[in-house]
A and B are shown apart, each in its own frame.
Chain A
């Protein structure tokens, strides 16, 4: 705990005698903005969504100089023009909510590009302070930035920070406080101008619109956005202006429809003047760390080999460290807890005993044992992303993804799916084009998540003995092949083979920030535990209730009825009613199918269950069950986020239907083939 801000106290009124302030943190992607946000707010942050948007909103609170500071993390955007929902959110927040101050995070390592957002922010009527981040990375790349010179040129404070060091945060907070005290009177922002040949037309538009705009939209800024071709602003102005006047404006805009180039050029000319004096390259021409690493990592052949090795390592680490931990949690924690609860409840009514031991501890406990695997997977993934490697992985996968009408960017969310399909579907947010985003979401449930892999890893030995490992790998590759084929076909049918533009920044490699990664893992684990405590708990109870009602006997339970109802379909795949029920319960959580089989064969011993299964079913049935388990409809949590992210029942239902047809179809085919060859 440091002295200048304190994570542990929210409301210490005697400390906060000064007025509360709100600060918005703005910056382009890959500028270390989140690291800075985490440094200030620590665990005192809240992650939600911006109203009506599927864009993550992070806000936090901390104390500095005897006041509460509310920090809003604006979405990372390259500009403030309406190219994406993120950009609209960022600028609407600044204009409508009017924070007391905007901090623009820029990177010293690519100052020119990162000042582009500053050139837009500085024109807004909100005080601005620039945090010059990544000074250390810049040094590694042979770039030195003189903050004082930059500050003089911009006319607003420029504070060098290393977002991983607490003392630089204190420095930034001191500058902020100083400026609050003198009411930002020292800020003399140097505002960029449009290229000279467009100044007249800008003035003309400004005069035409200035009397009609809502107060929060400055006329000069709005006129600039109109010339940039910003569709949101166009709609706004159209609504505010008398129709005749709008016609005049629209005609001018049409005549100057390439003026976005003049505006961007004007901003880059301004940036050029800012950095000419401030940036110094004492060792120009040296081969940087990033260049050296990228020679291999982005190579079309070697890059793929490295990617394969990295992914192999991720899985190997996840399962060699995670699986024993999972076993340990199960045998040392969940099982004894169940036994203990059983003995405590020995005098309680049977139903209460069943509810707590089988329903709650059996259901939720089984799911919670996946936590170590999930934590390890997301920790490694988060580190790889923070280092800058994941962008390279996306790049080398671009060619391959094109077959499916996707591009490299879709690789990242799909890869996340190996951990859990929920973040995979949410991760599709990074894809700008709507068809590509929908296609990525539709394909995400085809990635075998840790829960499904655990089911396969548990059941495969029952049917294949020593060959289980090989069969498991084969099945995973098989489901990936199904994914590729589905992608190719869906792209043809739904999106007419449309191809989307691939434009992606490859950030400089840098040393990962453990604190940021830890926070990311913490947030993901927390949401997983929350899911286990709510949705999975509820579903476990429902399954348990259905399995004992009405008579307390499984064979005559509602669950058995449901199983019998679907038995004809099960028959195509060689499944009896018990396997069918197990499959159906996997909708609530994939790992439920094992728990259900455990209940149905009433054997609590895991080894007992595998032996029973091997004795009961043929290898063909076993194989068919493994295939259908891998490809069956997405779990309830995934369905919920698919609806949330697509905002449409049409896509959600289509996705469920797709998985249903794929899983039943392939499993029936596999079963028929396997029976033919006599398995």
Chain B
């Protein structure tokens, strides 16, 4: 069992780290678009690029998605330590 980790926002996840989506916390319209793209609670994602400012890139369900920082700040995630990945 993975050790429970605290929930952080997607914008805080460093590049190369893995996480799973907890909630989206955005308006209905944007949330609906994101769920369509695969951002459903429990979905695993990997941060590809995050320089701490500007947009960032994540891989979710084999797709690279670029997100604005503000959108990323509203998405809550839980980190998955690398050694817990299969």
Judged by a CB distance under 8 angstroms, whether B55 is at the interface is yes
Asked if A502 contacts B32 (CB within 8 A), the reply is no
Judged by a CB distance under 8 angstroms, whether A614 is at the interface is no
Asked if A502 contacts B62 (CB within 8 A), the reply is no
Asked if B30 contacts A505 (CB within 8 A), the reply is no
Interface residues of A in 488-511 (CB under 8 A from B): 499, 501-508
Q: Which of B36, B43, B54 has the most CB of A within 10 A?
A: B36
Asked if A110 contacts B49 (CB within 8 A), the reply is no
Q: A83-B29, A265-B42, A502-B55 in contact; A395/B66 too (CB < 8 A)?
A: yes
Residues of A contacting B37 with CB < 8 Å? 78, 113, 503, 505
Residue from B36, B40, B65 within 8 A of A83 (CB atoms): B36
Judged by a CB distance under 8 angstroms, whether A228 is at the interface is yes
Asked if B36 contacts A506 (CB within 8 A), the reply is no
Asked if A504 contacts B38 (CB within 8 A), the reply is no
Asked if A398 contacts B68 (CB within 8 A), the reply is yes
Residue from A257, A261, A501 within 8 A of B30 (CB atoms): A501
Question: Which residue in chain B gives the minimum CB-CB distance to A397?
Answer: B55
Min CB distance, B26 to chain A, in Å?
A: 8
Asked if A294 contacts B49 (CB within 8 A), the reply is yes
Asked if B49 contacts A298 (CB within 8 A), the reply is yes
Interface residues of B in 23-39 (CB under 8 A from A): 26, 28-38
Asked if B65 contacts A503 (CB within 8 A), the reply is yes
Residue from A79, A265, A294 within 8 A of B40 (CB atoms): A265
Asked if B65 contacts A261 (CB within 8 A), the reply is no
Task: Kindly state the separation between the CA atoms of A499 and B28 in the bound complex, as whole angstroms.
Answer: 16
Residues of A contacting B71 with CB < 8 Å? 501-503
Residues of A contacting B26 with CB < 8 Å? 501
Judged by a CB distance under 8 angstroms, whether A260 is at the interface is yes
Asked if B54 contacts A261 (CB within 8 A), the reply is no
Residues of B contacting A291 with CB < 8 Å? 48
Task: Kindly state the separation between the CA atoms of A574 and B66 in the bound complex, as whole angstroms.
Answer: 49
Residues of A contacting B64 with CB < 8 Å? 290, 294, 505-508
Asked if B36 contacts A116 (CB within 8 A), the reply is yes
Question: Which residue in chain A gives the minimum CB-CB distance to B70?
Answer: A499
Interface residues of A in 379-437 (CB under 8 A from B): 391, 394-395, 398-399, 407-408, 432
Asked if A110 contacts B61 (CB within 8 A), the reply is yes
Residues of B contacting A395 with CB < 8 Å? 55, 57, 66
Residues of A contacting B55 with CB < 8 Å? 395, 398-399, 408, 502
Residues of B contacting A268 with CB < 8 Å? 38, 40, 43, 61
Residues of B contacting A112 with CB < 8 Å? 38, 61-63
Asked if B38 contacts A116 (CB within 8 A), the reply is yes
Min CB distance, B64 to chain A, in Å?
A: 4
Asked if B63 contacts A113 (CB within 8 A), the reply is yes
Size category of the binding interface on chain A: 35 or more
Q: A264-B35, A399-B55 in contact; A501/B68 too (CB < 8 A)?
A: yes
Q: A294-B49, A298-B57 in contact; A81/B32 too (CB < 8 A)?
A: yes
Asked if A502 contacts B40 (CB within 8 A), the reply is no
Q: A300-B51, A502-B67 in contact; A261/B40 too (CB < 8 A)?
A: yes
Task: Kindly state the separation between the CA atoms of A505 and B66 in the bound complex, as whole angstroms.
Answer: 6
The majority secondary structure among interface residues of chain B is: mixed
Asked if B40 contacts A399 (CB within 8 A), the reply is no
Asked if A264 contacts B65 (CB within 8 A), the reply is no
Residue from B29, B42, B54, B60 within 8 A of A398 (CB atoms): B54
Query: Quick one: CB contact mask for A226-257 with B, threshold 8 Å, 1 for yes?
Result: 00110000000000000000000000000001
Asked if A505 contacts B40 (CB within 8 A), the reply is no
Task: Kindly state the separation between the CA atoms of A399 and B71 in the bound complex, as whole angstroms.
Answer: 14
Question: Which residue in chain A gives the minimum CB-CB distance to B60?
Answer: A113
Task: Kindly state the separation between the CA atoms of A79 and B67 in the bound complex, as whole angstroms.
Answer: 19
Q: A298-B49, A506-B65 in contact; A83/B33 too (CB < 8 A)?
A: yes
Q: A294-B48, A398-B55, A399-B55 in contact; A503/B34 too (CB < 8 A)?
A: yes
Question: Which residue in chain B gives the minimum CB-CB distance to A116?
Answer: B36
Judged by a CB distance under 8 angstroms, whether B81 is at the interface is no
Min CB distance, A402 to chain B, in Å?
A: 8
Task: Kindly state the separation between the CA atoms of A91 and B29 in the bound complex, as whole angstroms.
Answer: 18
Task: Kindly state the separation between the CA atoms of A506 and B35 in the bound complex, as whole angstroms.
Answer: 17
Residues of B contacting A83 with CB < 8 Å? 29, 32-33, 36
Task: Kindly state the separation between the CA atoms of A561 and B3 in the bound complex, as whole angstroms.
Answer: 84
Judged by a CB distance under 8 angstroms, whether A357 is at the interface is no
Judged by a CB distance under 8 angstroms, whether A111 is at the interface is yes
Judged by a CB distance under 8 angstroms, whether A109 is at the interface is yes
Question: Which residue in chain A gives the minimum CB-CB distance to B31?
Answer: A260
Min CB distance, A412 to chain B, in Å?
A: 13
Task: Kindly state the separation between the CA atoms of A614 and B71 in the bound complex, as whole angstroms.
Answer: 55
Residues of A contacting B67 with CB < 8 Å? 502-503
Interface residues of A in 254-284 (CB under 8 A from B): 257, 260-261, 264-265, 268
Asked if B68 contacts A78 (CB within 8 A), the reply is no
Residues of B contacting A503 with CB < 8 Å? 30, 33-34, 37, 65-68, 71
Task: Kindly state the separation between the CA atoms of A391 and B42 in the bound complex, as whole angstroms.
Answer: 27
Residues of B contacting A502 with CB < 8 Å? 55, 66-68, 71
Residues of A contacting B41 with CB < 8 Å? 261, 265
Q: A78-B33, A294-B48, A294-B49 in contact; A407/B68 too (CB < 8 A)?
A: yes
Residues of B contacting A300 with CB < 8 Å? 51, 54
Task: Kindly state the separation between the CA atoms of A79 and B55 in the bound complex, as whole angstroms.
Answer: 24
Residues of B contacting A394 with CB < 8 Å? 66
Task: Kindly state the separation between the CA atoms of A228 and B54 in the bound complex, as whole angstroms.
Answer: 31
Task: Kindly state the separation between the CA atoms of A197 and B77 in the bound complex, as whole angstroms.
Answer: 23
Asked if B63 contacts A505 (CB within 8 A), the reply is yes
Asked if A113 contacts B62 (CB within 8 A), the reply is yes
Task: Kindly state the separation between the CA atoms of A265 and B61 in the bound complex, as whole angstroms.
Answer: 13
Task: Kindly state the separation between the CA atoms of A298 and B32 in the bound complex, as whole angstroms.
Answer: 26
Question: Which residue in chain A gives the minimum CB-CB distance to B39?
Answer: A264
Task: Kindly state the separation between the CA atoms of A260 and B53 in the bound complex, as whole angstroms.
Answer: 31
> Beyond A81-B36, A83-B33: 10 further Cβ-contacts under 8 Å?
A78-B36, A109-B62, A113-B63, A229-B32, A264-B36, A503-B30, A503-B33, A503-B34, A503-B67, A503-B68
- The 4 A-B pairs at the shortest CB distance, nearest first, are namely A502-B68, A264-B35, A506-B64, A112-B61
Which residues of chain A have a CB within 8 Å of any CB of chain B?
78-79, 81, 83, 109-113, 116, 143, 228-229, 257, 260-261, 264-265, 268, 290-291, 294, 298, 300, 391, 394-395, 398-399, 407-408, 432, 499, 501-508
Q: List 29 A-B contacts (CB under 8 A).
A: A78-B33, A78-B36, A78-B37, A81-B32, A83-B32, A83-B33, A83-B36, A110-B61, A110-B62, A112-B63, A113-B37, A229-B28, A260-B32, A264-B35, A264-B36, A268-B38, A268-B40, A268-B43, A298-B57, A298-B66, A394-B66, A395-B55, A499-B70, A501-B26, A501-B70, A502-B71, A503-B37, A503-B68, A503-B71
